[in-house]
Amino acid sequence: MLALCCDYRVMARSADPARPYAIGLNEVQVGLIAPEGIQRLLRRAVGAHRSSVLLATGALVPAEQALQIGLVDELVDGELVAARAVAWLQDLLKQPRQPMLLTRAIARAELHDALHPDLIQLERFVEAWFAPDAQNALQALAARLGK
């Protein structure tokens, strides 16, 4: 969810192609509903149809596919993620300050709207963790991870 709020998303590429890193919103897989505001952020990044498929299935997307669909902006080796993100920001800061900030504010208006408390409904999200579906899914996930 946090990555969807970022201006630019740099993701690590796995050193082992047989075990690619993945990203996504797997709420459905653990018995939860992604709040409307978060769904809006995903639609903003990858489009309406693709986001509806990803959300309904709770699919995690391998890094290369995440780059192709716009879920991330760049892939780099793991040890270079922070340095590349800082370099991107330093390049952004070379732009004329006021035009960059105002353009950025306009471009991010949908993001701010999506994070309105009415669209996040944090209390409902927290309560959902204790619903039987969520508890069963979380226990099954914990059992799988424990193997």
- Can you give the residue range of the structural domain that contains 6? 2-146
| 51 has pLDDT over 80 | yes
Is there a contact between 40 and 48 (Cβ–Cβ < 8 Å)? Answer: no
Q: What is the mean pLDDT of residues 88-116?
A: 97
CB contact set of 60 (below 8 Å; sequence gap of 6+): 22, 23, 24, 26
C-alpha Rg value of the chain to the nearest Å: 17
Residues 6+ apart with CB under 8 A from 33: 27, 125, 128
- Banded model confidence at residue 2, pLDDT cuts 50, 70, 90: very high
**Cα angle 11-115-7, degrees, rounded to a multiple of 5:** 30
What confidence category does residue 145 fall into, taking pLDDT thresholds of 50, 70 and 90? confident
Q: Give the chain's domain count.
A: 1
What CATH code is carried by the domain that includes residue 132? 3.90.226.10
